[in-house]
Amino acid sequence: MKRTKVVSALKGTDLGKEVNVKGWVRFHRTSKAVDFIAVNDGSTINNIQVVVSPSDFDPDTLKKITIGSCISVIGTLVKSKGKGQAYEIQCKSIEIYGLCPSDYPMQKKGQSFEYMRKYAHLRLRTNTFGAVFRIRHHLAMAIHKYFDEHGFYYFNTPLLTSSDAEGAGDMFQVTTLDIDHDKIKPGAEGKTDYSEDFFGKKVNLTVSGQLEGELGATALGAIYTFGPTFRAENSNTPRHLAEFWMIEPEIAFLDMTGLMDLEEDFIKFCVKYALDHCQDDLAFLNKMIDKGLLERLQSVLKEDFVRLPYTEGIKILEEAAKNGHHFDNPVSWGIDLASEHERYLVENHFKRPVIMTDYPKDIKAFYMKINEDDKTVQGTDVLFPQIGEIIGGSVREADYDKLLSEIHRRHIPMKDMWWYLDTRKYGSCPHAGFGLGFERLVLFITGMQNIRDVIPFPRTPKNVEF
Contacts of its own copies in 234-253 (CB under 8 A): 234, 242-243, 245, 252-253
Distance CA 130, CA 42 (A): 7
Pick one of 29, 79, 84, 97: the residue that binds its own copies (CB under 8 A): 97
Does residue 170 belong to the site contacting its own copies (CB under 8 A)?
yes
Does residue 465 belong to the site contacting its own copies (CB under 8 A)?
yes
Does residue 125 belong to the site contacting its own copies (CB under 8 A)?
yes
- The sheet with strand 243-252 has its strands ordered as 153-154, 222-230, 243-252, 431-437, 388-396, 376-384, 354-360, 306-309
Contacts of its own copies in 311-350 (CB under 8 A): none
Does residue 459 belong to the site contacting its own copies (CB under 8 A)?
yes
For the bound state, the minimum distance from the C-beta of residue 227 to its own copies, rounded and expressed in Å, comes to 7
For the bound state, the minimum distance from the C-beta of residue 106 to its own copies, rounded and expressed in Å, comes to 8
Here's the x/- map for its own copies, 32-61, by CB under 8 A: it reads as ---------xxx------------------
Pick one of 113, 153, 327, 366: the residue that binds its own copies (CB under 8 A): 153
Pick one of 87, 146, 155, 310: the residue that binds its own copies (CB under 8 A): 155
Task: Please count the residues of this chain forming the interface with its own copies, following the rule CB under 8 A.
Answer: 109
Contacts of its own copies in 371-390 (CB under 8 A): none
Q: From the CB of residue 66, how many other CB atoms can be counted at a distance below 10 Å?
A: 15
Measured from the CB atom, the residue of 334 and 456 that comes closer to its own copies is 456
Pick one of 158, 238, 292, 413: the residue that binds its own copies (CB under 8 A): 158
> What is the length of the chain?
466
Region from 263-271, 282-290, 364-372, 455-463 binding its own copies, contact rule CB under 8 A:
455-463
The stretches of 79-126 forming alpha helices (DSSP H) are 113-117, 120-123
Q: Enumerate residues 6+ apart whose C-beta is below 8 A from 16.
A: 76, 77, 78
Does residue 98 belong to the site contacting its own copies (CB under 8 A)?
yes
Give exposure, 78-109, as e/b (b: 16+ Cβ within 10 Å): eebeeeeeebbbebeebeeeeebeeebebeee
CB-facing half-sphere around the CA of 404: CA atoms within 13 A: 11
Does residue 13 belong to the site contacting its own copies (CB under 8 A)?
no
DSSP string computed for 322-346 = HTT---SSPP-TTPPPPHHHHHIII
